[in-house]
Structure 1
Amino acid sequence: MYASARDLAQAIRSGELTSRELVEQAIARADEVDGAVNALIWRNDDDALAAADAADAAIRAGDDVGPFHGVPLPIKELTWVAGQPGTFGSLGVSDAPRPINDLVVDRFLQAGFVLFGRSNSPEAGPMSVTENQRFGVTRNPWNLDYSPAGSSGGAAAAVAAGIVPVAHATDGGGSIRMPSSATGLVGLKPSRGRVPARVPTWEHSIVEGVITRHIADTAAILDAISAPDYTLPYVAPAPSRPFVSELDSEGPRLRVGLVLDTPSGLPVDPAAVAATRDLAAALEHLGHCVEPVQPRMHSFEAVMGFVDVIINAWLWATPYDNPELAEPYIRARKERALGHHSGQYAIAAARLYAENVDILAQWGRDFDVLLTPTMATLPPLVGTVLAEANEQFDGPRETENRMIAFTAFANITGQPAISLPVGMSPSGLPVGAQLIGGPFDEATLIRLAASVEPAFGWTQLRPDLSHAPA
C-alpha cells in the first residue's frame, strides 16, 4: 500500500475503490510481512472491517465525509483509544480497555480514518529504538537485522512495509523524525501546541503527528488534525492558509544554515553527512542560499535538566499498575526522579525556557531554516541500544546519544522540524536529512519538502520483503 492516502481517499469517494477493499489489503499485507517486522502489536481486523463497511455506506448515501474517509491508520501504543488497550508497551501496565480517546484520535476519526491496530513503541517512550519486553522487537523492513529507530518505530515500519499508507506517531525528542530517517519516509514534528493534547507532557516537548511517504499527505493530515482548541493550555497560532496550499507554492529565496557537526561533539556517520549535503545541493539548485553556520544551542546544564530531571519526573508520574515489572532502565529512571525535588524541576524548566529565547531569535535573523542530518548514526542493530540502556544506565550510551544529537533540541524549543529521506547508506539503509523551521513555521518546511520531493523520488522507495520469514 504505497499510494498517497489522499489519492486513496479520493478513489473511495469516486467509487473506484471501497474502504473494505483497502482494509482487506492492509490485513493481507500485515498477515504476509508483519510476522517478521512486528510493526503492529494489536490488531482489530473485525472492527476495522465494520468501520470500513460503515464508511462505504456513507459514500453510497451521499453523506459529507472527511478528507481521509475510509483510509486505514494505526495508532501508536502510547496513545489512548476508547475500547482499546493502551499498555505503554509495558508488562507493568494492564491491557484493560481505555475509557476515552486522546484528542488526536478524535481528530483522526473526524478526518474519516479507519483505525487499524496499534503500532509498537518502546516502553513509555524515552528510547530511540522500538523494543520492549512485552511485545518484543520491531525490525526495519529494509534490513531485519536493524532497528527502525524509535519511539515511533512501529508506525514507520508499518508504512515502510506497505501495510498502511500513513501512521500516527508522536515525537518527544526525535521519535517521528528518527524512524522516518531509518525507514525512508517523511516525518514532520509539528510545532508545540499545533495538534491538540489534553496534557502537555515533558514540558510541552511531546507532540502528535504522522509518518508518511508523500509530503502531500503530511500537509493534508496536519490540516485535518491541527485546528486550534482554545480550551487547552497551549495553542499554536493558526497558519495564514491551509498547509496544503504550500505544496504548489514557490515561496521566497531562503537562507539555509547548514550544520554537519553534532552540538555534543559526537561523530557523524559519513552517509548522514552525504545525505545532508545532497539536500543542500538540491536547495541551492532551487535558488536558496545554503551556508555553514554555528548556531547557539542549549547549554549542557539545560540538556541534562531536560533528560535527567524533567523526563524522569514524567516517567515517575506514568500510571503503572505493577511498576516492578517495568524495564530495568525505566525503573532506574523512576528511581532517579526521587532524587530531585520540586525546586530542581522548576529550575530545570525555567532554564530551558530562558535559553529558548536566544535560540529561537536566530531564525529570521541569522538564517531562515536550519539543515542538519536527522541522525548522526545509521540505524543500530536490533537489541543493542535497549541492552545498553538496561545494563549500563549510567554509562555513555553513545549510539542512543548519536541518534538524538540533532533532533531533541527542537522538542525543547517547540519548533517544527521535518526529516526527508534523501540518502542511502552503502549497506542499503535509508538516511534522512532534517530541516528545522522557525517558530510555528511548518508552512516553510512543507513548501521546501514539496519542492525537492520530485528530485529525490523518495515516494518510489520500496524495501524488499519478499524473502522475509513468515
Structure 2
Amino acid sequence: MMHESAVELSRRIRTGELTATELMTEAIRAADAVDPQINALIWRDDEASLRDAAAADAELAAGIGVGPFHGIPLPIKELTWVAGQPGTFGSRGVSDAPRPVSDLVVDRFRDAGFVLFGRSNSPEAGPMSVTENSRFGVTRNPWNVDRSPAGSSGGAAAAVAAGIVPVAHATDGGGSIRMPASATGLVGLKPSRGRVPARVPMWEHSIVEGVITRHIEDTAAILDAISAPDPTLPYAAPRPPRPFADEVGLDGPRLRIGLLLDAPSGVPVDPECRAAAEDLARALEHLGHTVEPVRPLLHSWEAVLGFVDVIINSWLWTTPYEDAELAEPYIRARRERARAHTGGDYALAAMRLYSENVDILAQWGRDFDVLLTPTMATTPPPVGVVLAEANAAFDGPRLTENQMIAFTAFANITGQPAISLPVRMSAAGLPVGAQLIGRPFGEGELIRLAASVQEHFGWTRRHPAVAGVAG
C-alpha cells in the first residue's frame, strides 16, 4: 500500500475505498516491523496520530472540505519544529521539551490534509551527509543496513524506501534531500530559494523545505500544496505559469542538457555514479533533448570556504543548546570556529557568494537549459565512517563526505532548483541517482523531465529487501 503514490492513496480515501485510520494503522504496523532494523523514526505518538486520522475520517464523512493529501501519514524531520512535539536537533545537548510553535511548512502540510506521524532522524543540527548522532543513533539504508541512507534527511528517505510511509518531509541545505534520495532509490527535489515559505532563511538563504517521494506526481502536487507565497516574508519565488502537478506528462520543448561528470572540487567520482548520469543522458537524448559535455563556471574555492567555514558555522552557533558540551565533537569544533570569525568575515563571505552567483546563474538559458550531473561522487558509504571522520578531524580531508556533497552544495548557494532521480542500481545492489539542476525558479522544467523518464527507469517498482509493506 505505501508504495502507491500519496496522490492515489488520498484519492482512495476521498472515494471511500480506504480510510485515513486504516492507512495510519498500516504505517504503525510497518514502522513496528522494520524500523528496529533501520532507525528511521526517532519519536512517535501513535495514539495522537490515530486520533488525528480518525478526525480526518470524520471531517470527510461530514462533508467538510479536505486538502489534496487528506489522511496521508507524514513524518516531520527532527530539525523542524512542531508545536507540542520535541525538537532536539538530534542532540543530547538540546532539551526534549515540547516546542511552542510549528514551522510554517508544518502548517502547510496540515492544510493539505497530511496527518503527522512521528519525527525522522537527522544528524545533529544538520551539517552532515549521513544520518547519525549520539542521541538517537544510526539510521541505516533499507537496501543494505550496513550502508548509510546519507543525510541529513536520511531518516525521511529510509522511512519512505522501507515502505513505512509514501512520502516524508525533508530539508536541504547542501544536498540533504538529494543525497538521501539517491542513496535509497527515491525522488528528491530541492525547490528554489523562496519557493516554500520559512520564517528564517537559514544558512544565508540556502536551506529549503521539501519532501522525499517515490512518485514524481507526489513531488509535483506536494510542491503545489506547500509553496504558495507568504506576504509576511521578505521575498518569495515568482508564481509558476501553471500548477506543478500539470507539468507531469506535459510535452515541453526540447532542451539543451549540459553534462558534467567531473566533480567541481576535483574529488574522484565513482564509475557507478558517472554511469548513472550517463544513463539519464541517454534517456533524455532518446526523447529528443540535446546532451553535450560542459565545463560550467562554478564558485571559487574562497567562496566555498566562506560558505562552509564562516556562514554554516555561524548558524550552528545559534542552535539553542542547553548544554553545548554534550554536542558531537565536530559540532563543538565548528561552533568554536564561529567564535573566531568577525561580523566582517560573515559579510565578506556572503558578499562573495552573491557576487559569484550572478555569473554562474547566467549560464542557464545561455549556454544550456539544464545541467545534468551524478547526484553524489560515491555510492552510499558504510555506516559510522563519515561521522567518525568528522569527530576525529573536523578540518581534515574527509574524502567520503566531500564526495557525497561534490555535486549538490553549489545549487543551495545559488538557490536553484535541483532534483535527484533514482536511475540506476549498482553492481552491489545499491541505488545510484543522477541530478538535474534547473534555471532559477525552473522546478516545472525539472518535473517535466523527471516525469518523462519515470516509466523508462521503473524506479517506482523497485523496493528494498527491508520493507514493511503488506501485499
- AA in 2 matched with 1:420: L
Partner deviation per Cα, 1:239-259 (whole Å, 9 max, x = no partner): 111001100211001000000
1:129-148 matches, cutoff 5 A: 129-148=130-149
- In 2, distance between residues paired with 1:112 and 1:318? 30
Partner deviation per Cα, 1:89-146 (whole Å, 9 max, x = no partner): 0000000000011000000000000000000000000000000000000000000000
- AA in 2 matched with 1:282: A
Q: 1:409 to 1:111 in 2, by over 3 A?
A: same
Contact 2:259 2:291 in 1 (8 A): yes
Q: Partner of 2:125 in structure 1? A: 124
Contact 2:418 2:436 in 1 (8 A): yes
Q: Partner of 2:96 in structure 1? A: 95
- AA in 2 matched with 1:174: G
- In 1, distance between residues paired with 2:318 and 2:5? 39
* DSSP-derived class of the 2:317 partner: helix
- In 1, distance between residues paired with 2:436 and 2:395? 31
Q: Do residues 303 (structure 1) and 288 (structure 2) align?
A: no
* DSSP-derived class of the 1:117 partner: strand
Contact 2:76 2:119 in 1 (8 A): yes
TM-aligned CA deviation for residue 80 of structure 1: 0.2
TM-aligned CA deviation for residue 203 of structure 1: 0.4
TM-aligned CA deviation for residue 466 of structure 1: 6.7
* DSSP-derived class of the 2:65 partner: coil
Aligned residues: 467
* DSSP-derived class of the 1:298 partner: coil
Q: Partner of 1:197 in structure 2? A: 198
* DSSP-derived class of the 1:116 partner: strand
Q: Partner of 1:458 in structure 2? A: 459
Q: Partner of 2:354 in structure 1? A: 353
Q: Partner of 1:52 in structure 2? A: 53
TM-aligned CA deviation for residue 302 of structure 1: 0.1
Q: Do residues 162 (structure 1) and 163 (structure 2) align?
A: yes
- In 1, distance between residues paired with 2:30 and 2:247? 33
TM-aligned CA deviation for residue 225 of structure 1: 0.1
Contact 2:161 2:467 in 1 (8 A): no
Q: Do residues 271 (structure 1) and 278 (structure 2) align?
A: no
1:235-250 matches, cutoff 5 A: 235-250=236-251
* DSSP-derived class of the 1:169 partner: strand
Partner deviation per Cα, 1:389-415 (whole Å, 9 max, x = no partner): 001112100100000000000000000
Q: Partner of 2:447 in structure 1? A: 446
- In 1, distance between residues paired with 2:316 and 2:401? 18
- In 1, distance between residues paired with 2:38 and 2:318? 31
1:380-395 matches, cutoff 5 A: 380-395=381-396
Q: Do residues 173 (structure 1) and 174 (structure 2) align?
A: yes
- In 1, distance between residues paired with 2:466 and 2:355? 48
Q: Partner of 1:19 in structure 2? A: 20
* DSSP-derived class of the 1:237 partner: coil
- In 2, distance between residues paired with 1:394 and 1:284? 41
- In 2, distance between residues paired with 1:207 and 1:394? 26
- In 2, distance between residues paired with 1:130 and 1:278? 28
Partner deviation per Cα, 1:139-190 (whole Å, 9 max, x = no partner): 0000000000000000000000000000000000000000000000000000
**Structure 1 unpaired stretches of 5+:** none
Q: What is the aligned-residue RMSD (CA, Å)? A: 0.7
- In 1, distance between residues paired with 2:253 and 2:275? 26
- In 2, distance between residues paired with 1:168 and 1:44? 17
Q: Do residues 315 (structure 1) and 316 (structure 2) align?
A: yes
* DSSP-derived class of the 1:338 partner: helix
- In 1, distance between residues paired with 2:145 and 2:228? 38
Contact 2:163 2:467 in 1 (8 A): no
**Structure 2 unpaired stretches of 5+:** none
* DSSP-derived class of the 1:357 partner: helix
- In 2, distance between residues paired with 1:118 and 1:344? 36
Partner deviation per Cα, 1:73-102 (whole Å, 9 max, x = no partner): 000000000000000000000000000110
Q: Partner of 1:223 in structure 2? A: 224
* DSSP-derived class of the 1:317 partner: coil
- AA in 1 matched with 2:426: S
Q: Partner of 2:409 in structure 1? A: 408
- In 2, distance between residues paired with 1:181 and 1:66? 29
- AA in 2 matched with 1:278: D
* DSSP-derived class of the 1:355 partner: helix
TM-score (normalised: structure 1) = 0.99
- In 1, distance between residues paired with 2:336 and 2:102? 30
* DSSP-derived class of the 1:168 partner: strand
- In 2, distance between residues paired with 1:91 and 1:137? 14
- AA in 2 matched with 1:351: R
TM-score (normalised: structure 2) = 0.99
Contact 2:162 2:467 in 1 (8 A): no
